[in-house]
Structure 1
Amino acid sequence: MRESLKVSDILALGFMTFAFFLGAGNIIFPPQAGFLAGEHTFSAMLGFLITAVGLPLIGIIAVAVAGGGWKGLTRDLPTSVATLMAVLIFIIIGPAFAAPRAGLVAYEMGFKPFLTGAGQLELSLFSVVFFAIAMFFSLSQGKLIDTIGKLLTPALFAALAVLAIAVVVNPQGDIVAAQGAYVDQAFTTGFLEGYNTMDTFAALMFGMLIVDVIRKKGITSESQTCKYLIYAGIIAAGGLAFVYVSLFYLGATASSVAGGASNGGEILAAYVLALFGPAGQIILSTIIILACLTTVIGLVSACSDYFSTLTDKLSYRQWVVVLSIACAVVANVGLTQLIAISVPVLFALYPVAIALIALTFVRRFMPNPAMAYRVVLSVSLIFALIDAAKILGIDVSLFNVLPLFTYGMAWLMPTVIALIAMRFVGEAKSESSHA
């Protein structure tokens, strides 16, 4: 059997990977960040690209290094802890935040612009219909996702490319002064905003799907699998970077057309209307609704598939129904409110995902991997909870002495120190156990 893929297969694999990640958060957060960053857009964009492009790419590579699965990533943790982490990640990328957010973006950008005086009733009706359609497709265990994705993703990317060119050729406003945290902390604020895409979480789960696709193409060698996974990740990262850069610039030049906007969805909708008029809005709305629908189908299918392995009483199809209903209920919170609720949770758990990825690459240097994983992940979680508490408005000024505390990254230095310390802890025990 050939242990190589054709160039066309590699490109298709990369575009599929890009399709996995191109969801609601990838579209709504860059315009908002660019809008607020203003004259500091470049610095904010660099920070955002690190967490929204760099970390997901590294996460996919970590999955390959670990052997292509969640069990490989967490093999040095107790099974109960590894399962709890997986459940939390699936809840976050599923019914709690990512899936309802995709539905809300579809409403804000694809449906609301055509309404006058839209209120809670319209949002509720749209949520019911949208997630009922997602449930219908998910019940077939995602058999139609590939077909939809092959047609939809190129169309969405082409539309965003046209939009990017239009923004550069005919910007709708001047770049103005930075606002809020972007005035003095543009880079770190952009870095933290990248958490909102949730793509580092998704990379840990999607990476396994991509590995399976590669193996179904006849690639059995681990080194070849890792190589093609890296190729796919690089292609996807390039596509995501292109989308983010163009949307950042869109937001930075949106001051005159989106002055009262409260989120990135409203900014993008207002900008497209100003650029192309009603016709452009119809085209963009259709693509955005379908893109978000495909994302939700994938997320609901993945979550249902995993949760059905943990329960005997609820089957895959029953989980699809439960999760679809849950998504519709959560979606009625509203986009701005849902983002506000999700931010503290992301601040608490994202550093743990980053630490897990880092451990995957340095595991070979750890004399006692089991101890290293327990200590490093615990340290990252404890200090990340301090950052999350600050976001919630809790007084944690006692920890002002921590490096990077004021930037919302109190977890970073303690986690790095724990990683270094674990390189030298447990060595004697490890040697004696191998004797």
Structure 2
Amino acid sequence: MKKYSQSLILKTGLAIFAMLFGSANLIFPMKIGVISGDKTAIGLIGFILSGILIPMAGLMSMVFFNGDYRAFFYRIGKVPGNILIALCMLIIGPLVAMPRIITFSYEIVRPFVGNHLSLLLFSTIFSIITFIFTYKKNSLLDSIGKILSPLLLLSLSGIFSIGYWLKDGTIKTVLPDWQVFSKSFLIGYNTLDLLGTIFFASIVISILYSTLEKDQTKNPKYMAKIMSISSLIAGVLLALVYCGIAYLGAWHGKEFAALDEGKIFINTILKIVGSQGALVLAATVFLACLTTIIALTSVVSEYLKNGITKNRLSYINCLIIILVTATFMSQFELGPLLKFSAPLISIAYPVLITLTFCNLAYKLWGFKPVKIPVLITLIISSYFYGPKFINILKESKNLIEKV
């Protein structure tokens, strides 16, 4: 393969990694290590399956749909497809993922600033920075892949090294192997990376189209090859980071096991690096969260502009609406947001997994059934997690009054 293509593949792989790697990709691998303990390897298999392999299958599926997520979702029908798209946009956008990123960034910074920086002020500053990066969307891949990804990996490597040398035994777990695997597999849903790959694919593919020669973009095999190798690079990087974070949890997180995921991560890392490592810690989290929220904001704003308002609102106005909404939602703080999102994700994620593999099988082998498998999956997931979500919606009234 030409050096030009090799450079493009590496840049694209780093961009995919950076766009996917946000707050959830930090806090949930740590949780895997804490609950899995000396069986962390088993836990990582389940987590990597749902958190990396399935999302990468989603990305490859989108290649066959030329990055057109509407065509991807419309296989279940235009009306249900649009409903599912809207739900996904709310989840990856201002309802769940974006405020979760903002609140976690604040939680990680708060121990070092005390009461000098309120959540509202931090959220506003963070959203302004996001707006600046996202506005220049043509340089999105370069800014993420060339600058932020290497800095993120460098910061994480420093923490891994310190954690390895300071390790003092591993947590012993009483959970059987199958339970460690199943719990870790379900926790992998919370990364939301399947949604990320489905909707980020349009960003990556559109930039590839603008970079490659016209005859190359019309060659499906060539495009699939570039995307598959780029996905492999991103997947390997994610797996390495997940392994490192999970083992940090297994080595150092025992005393924080009763806390929520965000506090487990914060306290464990502070235990490892201490106050002197505060700058490394803050930089790591800030970069991870910023890279992901840039991509999320771009995708959701484009959807609002083209899919909802039919170009009646400008891209800038849509950016402002999305970021203001996310800033408002972030005032609920991290704990309640995690509690609210868990059953919603548990209902939606299996549906998306089913749709992804049905679409992939359709493009590869002509497998046509899709509506019935998706409907059955929706019924099953709603049966198990619907009541929990309804109860949380009732509780949300108190949160709204608080805000």
TM-score range, shorter chain: 0.7 to 0.9
Does residue 344 (structure 1) correspond to residue 343 (structure 2)? The answer is yes
Secondary structure of the corresponding residue to residue 332 of structure 1: helix
2:146 to 144, 150, 168: 150
1:282 to 274, 279, 282: 279
Distance across 1 between alignment mates of 2:103 and 2:110: 10
- Work out whether residues 359 and 370 of structure 2, in 8 Å CA contact, stay in contact via their aligned partners in 1: no
- Work out whether residues 196 and 343 of structure 1, in 8 Å CA contact, stay in contact via their aligned partners in 2: yes
What amino acid is aligned across from residue 346 of structure 1 in structure 2?
A: I
The structural deviation recorded for 1:141 is 4.3
Are the structure 2 counterparts of residues 4 and 148 from structure 1 closer, same or farther at C-alpha, using a change threshold of 3 Å?
A: closer
What amino acid is aligned across from residue 192 of structure 1 in structure 2?
A: L
Alignment of 1:183-202 (within 5 A): 185-202=179-196
The structural deviation recorded for 1:135 is 3.0
Secondary structure of the corresponding residue to residue 262 of structure 1: coil
State the identity as a percent: 27
Are the structure 2 counterparts of residues 341 and 44 from structure 1 closer, same or farther at C-alpha, using a change threshold of 3 Å?
A: same
- Work out whether residues 340 and 389 of structure 2, in 8 Å CA contact, stay in contact via their aligned partners in 1: no
- Work out whether residues 73 and 84 of structure 2, in 8 Å CA contact, stay in contact via their aligned partners in 1: no
Distance across 2 between alignment mates of 1:191 and 1:74: 24
- Matched with 1:204 is 198
What amino acid is aligned across from residue 329 of structure 2 in structure 1?
A: V
Secondary structure of the corresponding residue to residue 363 of structure 1: helix
Alignment of 1:254-273 (within 5 A): 254-255=252-253, 258-259=255-256, 262-273=259-270
Are the structure 2 counterparts of residues 17 and 148 from structure 1 closer, same or farther at C-alpha, using a change threshold of 3 Å?
A: closer
- Work out whether residues 358 and 370 of structure 2, in 8 Å CA contact, stay in contact via their aligned partners in 1: yes
- Matched with 1:418 is none
Q: Which has the larger radius of gyration?
A: 1
What amino acid is aligned across from residue 122 of structure 2 in structure 1?
A: F
- Matched with 1:225 is 223
Distance across 2 between alignment mates of 1:6 and 1:139: 27
Distance across 1 between alignment mates of 2:80 and 2:136: 31
Q: Deviations over 1:352-377 (max 9, x none)?
A: 1111111122226557x3xx222121
Alignment of 1:379-418 (within 5 A): 379-389=376-386, 391-392=388-389
- Matched with 1:178 is 173
Distance across 2 between alignment mates of 1:85 and 1:373: 14
Secondary structure of the corresponding residue to residue 176 of structure 1: coil
The structural deviation recorded for 1:331 is 1.0
Which one has the bigger helix percentage? 2
Distance across 1 between alignment mates of 2:2 and 2:67: 17
What amino acid is aligned across from residue 251 of structure 2 in structure 1?
A: T
Structure 2 unmatched ranges of 5 or more: 392-403
Distance across 2 between alignment mates of 1:272 and 1:75: 44
- Work out whether residues 113 and 269 of structure 1, in 8 Å CA contact, stay in contact via their aligned partners in 2: no
- Work out whether residues 34 and 257 of structure 2, in 8 Å CA contact, stay in contact via their aligned partners in 1: no
Distance across 2 between alignment mates of 1:392 and 1:88: 14
- Matched with 1:162 is 158
The structural deviation recorded for 1:196 is 0.3
- Work out whether residues 176 and 252 of structure 1, in 8 Å CA contact, stay in contact via their aligned partners in 2: yes
Q: Which moved more, 1:299-308 or 1:211-220?
A: 211-220
The structural deviation recorded for 1:73 is 2.0
Does residue 253 (structure 1) correspond to residue 276 (structure 2)? The answer is no
- Work out whether residues 304 and 319 of structure 1, in 8 Å CA contact, stay in contact via their aligned partners in 2: yes
The structural deviation recorded for 1:42 is 2.1
Are the structure 2 counterparts of residues 288 and 32 from structure 1 closer, same or farther at C-alpha, using a change threshold of 3 Å?
A: same
What amino acid is aligned across from residue 291 of structure 1 in structure 2?
A: A
- Matched with 2:316 is 317
The structural deviation recorded for 1:3 is 9.0
Q: Which moved more, 1:347-356 or 1:260-269?
A: 260-269
The structural deviation recorded for 1:304 is 0.7
Task: Using structure 1 for the length normalisation, give the TM-score.
Answer: 0.81
The structural deviation recorded for 1:207 is 1.9
- Work out whether residues 47 and 188 of structure 1, in 8 Å CA contact, stay in contact via their aligned partners in 2: yes
What amino acid is aligned across from residue 235 of structure 1 in structure 2?
A: I
Distance across 1 between alignment mates of 2:381 and 2:152: 36
Q: Deviations over 1:269-296 (max 9, x none)?
A: 3333333332321122023223312322
Distance across 1 between alignment mates of 2:300 and 2:345: 18
- Work out whether residues 269 and 281 of structure 1, in 8 Å CA contact, stay in contact via their aligned partners in 2: no
- Work out whether residues 256 and 268 of structure 2, in 8 Å CA contact, stay in contact via their aligned partners in 1: no
Are the structure 2 counterparts of residues 241 and 391 from structure 1 closer, same or farther at C-alpha, using a change threshold of 3 Å?
A: farther
Does residue 300 (structure 1) correspond to residue 297 (structure 2)? The answer is yes
Secondary structure of the corresponding residue to residue 246 of structure 1: helix
The structural deviation recorded for 1:253 is 1.4
Are the structure 2 counterparts of residues 261 and 178 from structure 1 closer, same or farther at C-alpha, using a change threshold of 3 Å?
A: same
- Work out whether residues 37 and 182 of structure 1, in 8 Å CA contact, stay in contact via their aligned partners in 2: no
Structure 1 unmatched ranges of 5 or more: 395-435
The structural deviation recorded for 1:343 is 0.7
Q: Which has the higher contact order (CA 8 A, sep 6+)?
A: 2
What amino acid is aligned across from residue 177 of structure 1 in structure 2?
A: K
Alpha-carbon RMSD: 2.6
- Work out whether residues 145 and 294 of structure 1, in 8 Å CA contact, stay in contact via their aligned partners in 2: no
Secondary structure of the corresponding residue to residue 247 of structure 2: helix
The structural deviation recorded for 1:104 is 1.4
Distance across 1 between alignment mates of 2:205 and 2:339: 34
Task: Using structure 2 for the length normalisation, give the TM-score.
Answer: 0.87
Are the structure 2 counterparts of residues 329 and 65 from structure 1 closer, same or farther at C-alpha, using a change threshold of 3 Å?
A: same
- Matched with 2:53 is 54
- Matched with 1:14 is 13
Secondary structure of the corresponding residue to residue 276 of structure 2: helix
